Amino acid sequence: MSTRLAKQGRLIDRSKKVTFTFNGTSMQGYEGDTLASALLANDQMMVGRSFKYHRPRGVVASGAEEPNALVGLGQGNRFEPNQRATTTELFNGLTAISQNHWPSLEHDIGAVNTAFARFLPAGFYYKTFIHPKPFWKHVYEPFIRQSAGLGKAPDKDSRDADTYEHFYAFTDVLVIGGGVAGLQAAKAAAASGAKVLLIEQSAYWGGRAPVDGGTVNDEPVDKFVEQLVSELETMDNVSMRSRCMGAGVYDHGYVLGYERLTDHTPGVQGPRHRLWRIRAKQIVTATGAIERPLSFAGNDVPGVMLASAMRDYAVNWGVNPGERVIVATNNDDAYRTAITLKQAGVDVLRIVDARATAGPLAEEARQLGIRVDPGKAIAKVKGGKRVKKVAICNQEGVGGAREEVEADAVAMSGGWSPVVHMWSHCGGKLTWDDANAFFRPDPSRPPLGANGEGFVLAAGASNGALVLGDVLTDAHAVGKAAAKAAGFKPKNIKAPVGETTAEAPMEAVWLMPANAEIQLRMKSWLDFQNDVKVSDVQLAAREGYESVEHTKRYTTLGMATDQGKLSNINGLAILADALESEIPKVGTTTFRPPYTPISMGAIGGEARGEVFQPIRQTPMHNWHDRNGADWEPVGHWRRTYAYVRPGESVHDAVNREVKNTRDNLGLLDASTLGKLIVKGPDAGKFLDIMYTNMMSTLIVGKCRYGLMCSENGFLIDDGVVARIDKDTWLCHTTTGGAERIHGHMEEWLQTEWWDWKVYVANVTEQYAQVAVVGPNARKVLEKLNAQAGGGMDLSKEALPFMEWRDGKIGEFDARAYRISFSGELSYEIAVPASQGQAFWDALFEAGQEFGVMPYGTECLHILRAEKGFIMIGDETDGTVIPQDLGLHWALSKKKEDYLGKRAHSRSHMADPERWKLVGLETVDGSVLPDGAYAVGEGVNANGQRNMIGRVTSTYFSANLGKGIAMGLIKHGPDRMGEIVEFPGTDGKTYKAKIVDPIFFDKDGEKQNV
């Protein structure tokens, strides 16, 4: 059983007990524990079940590479699945549940899968769920959905209770990883004066060096780490962040850092995670190396662990993972685990070394009384929920002549792989190191930055240096090189001298025993999280999946949340062997960020809840909100769709507003319409190019409706242009168009006609603009003038249709435009935004006797549709030209050029077959479905009915008491009176008559009073 050792545990504080629960059982650990170390200390060997076969699984690693110990953490709004127990710091009240089992961890029905494992090989799903076809929907898909997904998704009603944020950081040198290599590299770089940011994923500095031991400058390595950390902490040009993982390296020195602020202290004020968005001139990856498992049968039984992890648990957390331990290895490093455990009083039964001859550490082990068996292998680990027996055989051969030993834990080491993720994310290339059987960064092919030079350097173990002395020499040199590449002059200080222990070479062992028979290979796990075995990869190779990327997807090797940190190289080696190729020729799969999963909250940062997206507000926004506004998003603006009164439906409200505006008086908040000032000696010439109409001839004091096309000829915007003075025009745009059209004008001014003397300014938000509409419009304004002595003459004669005036209306400085988008008597009045609410209030109060009501955008739409006015975005969709909408009158024939003019003479634009705007009236007065297509005679090449047009706008008109619509119909204007069919998505076919698009007041008498 696994227990707490009497001594040891450099990271725990035995005076501080911590209580937590696992699957409802209360357990105790110490401050400084990880959830994994505390579970092991409580003899919780089995921590979950595997994804596919539901096999019992235990903790296998001690850090970010852990594939098995994934738990659901927290409760309610703080529940989160798939959290690694090995990187979860223990705190009082932590609650964890294990995953992938039903009804319980101990008794699981899905484990039956393991009995059928031989019938569930790689590609099983692809092969099985194809036939018979009808089975997919009702049998296969529900079954797969039931079993899919790792862990349990949070309850649908729960909401993340925490806050998150981003932070933009800038540094000369970023060092990723706070082990001895990272610390030394940071020091060497910082000595030059360069600004250094050092980030470390765990809560402590020094990495695994204090566990592995050794000396630096003749002092114990943990002393060296302590001194180095305090030295760096005093340097002004160094920032250090623990619990901050380098998640990804991207173009031009961009790095994401994932800082976990309160995961270990839930409830403490402040954000939970912070996503660091770092720009670094140079990046040093000092991300260490990860030990590889050995592939032998039963290597997934709880109690089988990486040798280094077992050493970590003993030294860091004082946890003894078993009482009778067997060590299996192909290298010298695992001997350190045997020696450490033995010295801590654990019974280490023997070291099974696949190599024919063991190295110098074997002698030390033997002297401690540990039996060393060279040339041996583990044939099979026996046991279900924990290790019971280990069968030992010769490494050469198929695994016969086994000797069985009773044991409860196995430490395995298949060698080490440098963590090359950060090097590789942005294109750094790797080279195969045959002596150590690993890929390491190829310094001649680094990722390239903005200046075309490399911007990432690897240091220490992540650069392939595994011995302490080499690690420090390398890291020191790399730190200096990084400072130099960042433009600083490195100081010529000496590298610390780390101890260099003699080690015998490792020997690549990809399978134990070397020619293991199929029964063993079917139980030799490569990917613990996705349940991929040696036999699966071999099968994939036999079935023709020769590319490593294909094999990965076929077998799902390395596709789990750990992204193959343990399985990658082992799987690759099996594939290379099966293909009778070499590992470097087969190559690796792509390393993609993030290094380990990061929270969605951190990615979103502050953008949640009420700051998820900007909501633009007019000066009268709060009034609308208080008065029943049913909001409609228009770009980032919120506009009132309708003002709904108590007891009314939205539809009722719209109908009331439509009738009232035509009969009495309506107020519309039109502040969102874009307003661009265009000024300069060449402004008229410029606007003649921007608009299809002639704007240079507009008389001061007058307004003109204008159309804008793109160079392709398609309509992009419309609006009323007013000439303010000789050099100045004010152009209204659509609500969504202000920034876009401003940018469009600037683009042409800056990049094509930069010699033209024109300046543009966007003054959209300087004004609150109110449309005062209806037969009583003039009365209410004149009442304001009468009340407060405003001087503006608003009579028909003084301010005729399509003209504007500046002056005082009531007590307000105002600009009044006599324009109408409703066909009613209408004034659009602009006042300074800071007085918008006061002006609105004044109108509303004065308007009471005239039947005033505010109206929203739906009423606006219906009023304009009754008049046959087009709306950008309804009648246009980026493929519509003015000619389609019968707007030939707005296309100047006098002008030599305007944007879109040349395009309008292209053959397709001049095609008489183009769909043209018409009005549509259903035969029975009902409302046509929006977007419905009109069908004509015959079918197309695909057997579908030919389409001859579509509905672009459709409404119920309360004024006319029936549905009205506009649409684009082939030869439409020539087919007045004809009935066209529109199949709806509801199965019905709607019949509508083609009519004139002007449904109301055809002669425009109402607006001209």
List the interface residues with another protein, window 839-858 (CB under 8 A): 839, 842
- Among residues 275, 280, 272, the alpha carbon closest in space to that of 256 is found at 275
> Nearer to another protein by C-beta: 200 or 312?
200
Residue 258 in the binding site for another protein (CB under 8 A): no
Of 125, 142, 170, 396, the residue at the interface with another protein (CB under 8 A) is: 170
- Among residues 48, 72, 74, the alpha carbon closest in space to that of 59 is found at 48
> Nearer to another protein by C-beta: 186 or 221?
186
String of contacts with another protein for each residue 339-358, x by CB under 8 A: --------------------
Residue 264 in the binding site for another protein (CB under 8 A): no
Rounded Cα gap, residues 224 and 676, in angstroms:
66
Residue 454 in the binding site for another protein (CB under 8 A): no
Judged by phi (left if over 0) then psi (alpha if -120 to 50, else beta), residue 767 lies in: beta
- Among residues 197, 191, 216, 192, the alpha carbon closest in space to that of 206 is found at 216
Q: Which residues pair with 413 in a beta bridge?
A: 329
Contacts with another protein in 74-113 (CB under 8 A)? Answer: none
Of 58, 110, 151, 271, the residue at the interface with another protein (CB under 8 A) is: 271
The 8-class DSSP code of residue 819 comes to -
> Nearer to another protein by C-beta: 335 or 839?
839
Q: 821: which residues sit within 8 A by CB, 6+ positions away? A: 771, 860, 863, 864, 869
> Nearer to another protein by C-beta: 675 or 704?
675
Min. distance of Cβ 605 from another protein in angstroms?
8
Rounded Cα gap, residues 395 and 389, in angstroms:
18
Cα dihedral value 606, 610, 614, 618, nearest 10: -150
Q: CB under 8 A: which stretch of 180-188, 748-756, 819-827, 999-1007 binds another protein?
A: 748-756
Query: Amino acid identity, residue 701?
Result: G
Report how many residues bind another protein under the rule CB under 8 A: 78
Rounded Cα gap, residues 104 and 350, in angstroms:
35
Rounded Cα gap, residues 584 and 548, in angstroms:
11
Contacts with another protein in 223-242 (CB under 8 A)? Answer: 239
Are 526 and 540 contacting, i.e. CB atoms less than 8 angstroms apart? no
The pairing of strands 196-199 and 164-176 is parallel
Q: CB under 8 A: which stretch of 143-151, 167-175, 300-308, 358-366 binds another protein?
A: 167-175
Tell me the two tokens of residue 523: 């139980």
> Nearer to another protein by C-beta: 247 or 437?
247
> Nearer to another protein by C-beta: 525 or 898?
898
* Rounded alpha-carbon distances, angstroms, from residue 876 to 491, 821, 823, 864, 968: 66, 17, 21, 15, 10
> Nearer to another protein by C-beta: 406 or 897?
897
Of 146, 234, 492, 750, the residue at the interface with another protein (CB under 8 A) is: 750
Residue 889 in the binding site for another protein (CB under 8 A): no
- Burial status of residue 250 (CB atoms within 10 A of its CB: 0-12, 13-18, 19 or more): middle
The 8-class DSSP code of residue 877 comes to S
Min. distance of Cβ 475 from another protein in angstroms?
24
Rounded Cα gap, residues 930 and 984, in angstroms:
9
Min. distance of Cβ 712 from another protein in angstroms?
6
Residue 832 in the binding site for another protein (CB under 8 A): yes
> Nearer to another protein by C-beta: 406 or 711?
711
Tell me the two tokens of residue 996: 């004139």
Min. distance of Cβ 695 from another protein in angstroms?
17
- Among residues 208, 256, 554, the alpha carbon closest in space to that of 421 is found at 256
- Among residues 777, 748, 762, 1008, the alpha carbon closest in space to that of 900 is found at 748
Min. distance of Cβ 373 from another protein in angstroms?
52
Exposure class string for 141-171: b at 16+ Cβ within 10 A, else e: eeeeeeeeebbeebeeeeebebbbbbeebeb
Residue 434 in the binding site for another protein (CB under 8 A): no
Min. distance of Cβ 672 from another protein in angstroms?
8
Q: 747: which residues sit within 8 A by CB, 6+ positions away? A: none
Residue 135 in the binding site for another protein (CB under 8 A): no
Min. distance of Cβ 429 from another protein in angstroms?
13
Residue ranges with strand state E in 140-195 = 164-176
Min. distance of Cβ 216 from another protein in angstroms?
29
Residue 677 in the binding site for another protein (CB under 8 A): yes
Are 238 and 159 contacting, i.e. CB atoms less than 8 angstroms apart? no
- Among residues 769, 685, 690, the alpha carbon closest in space to that of 731 is found at 690
Contacts with another protein in 26-65 (CB under 8 A)? Answer: none
Contacts with another protein in 891-920 (CB under 8 A)? Answer: 896-897, 901-903, 905-907
- Among residues 517, 519, 521, the alpha carbon closest in space to that of 532 is found at 521
Min. distance of Cβ 720 from another protein in angstroms?
19
Helix (H, G, I), strand (E, B) or coil at 905: coil
Min. distance of Cβ 239 from another protein in angstroms?
5
Rounded Cα gap, residues 714 and 951, in angstroms:
19
Of 356, 401, 450, 947, the residue at the interface with another protein (CB under 8 A) is: 450
Residue 250 in the binding site for another protein (CB under 8 A): yes
Rounded Cα gap, residues 465 and 565, in angstroms:
19
Residue 452 in the binding site for another protein (CB under 8 A): yes
Min. distance of Cβ 715 from another protein in angstroms?
16
> Nearer to another protein by C-beta: 888 or 902?
902
> Nearer to another protein by C-beta: 616 or 685?
616
Q: CB under 8 A: which stretch of 56-64, 145-153, 162-170, 988-996 binds another protein?
A: 162-170
Min. distance of Cβ 724 from another protein in angstroms?
11
Contacts with another protein in 680-739 (CB under 8 A)? Answer: 680-681, 711-712
Residue 616 in the binding site for another protein (CB under 8 A): yes
Helix (H, G, I), strand (E, B) or coil at 556: coil
Of 434, 582, 752, 924, the residue at the interface with another protein (CB under 8 A) is: 752
Residue 281 in the binding site for another protein (CB under 8 A): no
> How many residues comprise the chain?
1009
- Among residues 561, 497, 510, the alpha carbon closest in space to that of 538 is found at 510
Rounded Cα gap, residues 865 and 954, in angstroms:
8
> Nearer to another protein by C-beta: 249 or 928?
249
Q: CB under 8 A: which stretch of 128-136, 269-277, 884-892, 928-936 binds another protein?
A: 269-277
Min. distance of Cβ 488 from another protein in angstroms?
14
> Nearer to another protein by C-beta: 421 or 639?
639
Of 119, 754, 912, 942, the residue at the interface with another protein (CB under 8 A) is: 754
Of 618, 661, 957, 1007, the residue at the interface with another protein (CB under 8 A) is: 618
Contacts with another protein in 579-598 (CB under 8 A)? Answer: none
Contacts with another protein in 629-668 (CB under 8 A)? Answer: 637
Of 165, 527, 782, 828, the residue at the interface with another protein (CB under 8 A) is: 165
Rounded Cα gap, residues 933 and 526, in angstroms:
56
Residue 444 in the binding site for another protein (CB under 8 A): no
Tell me the two tokens of residue 785: 């003038």
Backbone phi and psi for residue 211, each to the nearest 5 degrees, phi listed first = -80, -45
> Nearer to another protein by C-beta: 116 or 759?
759
Rounded Cα gap, residues 64 and 35, in angstroms:
13
Min. distance of Cβ 892 from another protein in angstroms?
12
Query: Amino acid identity, residue 156?
Result: K
Contacts with another protein in 756-815 (CB under 8 A)? Answer: 757, 759-761, 763-767, 811-813
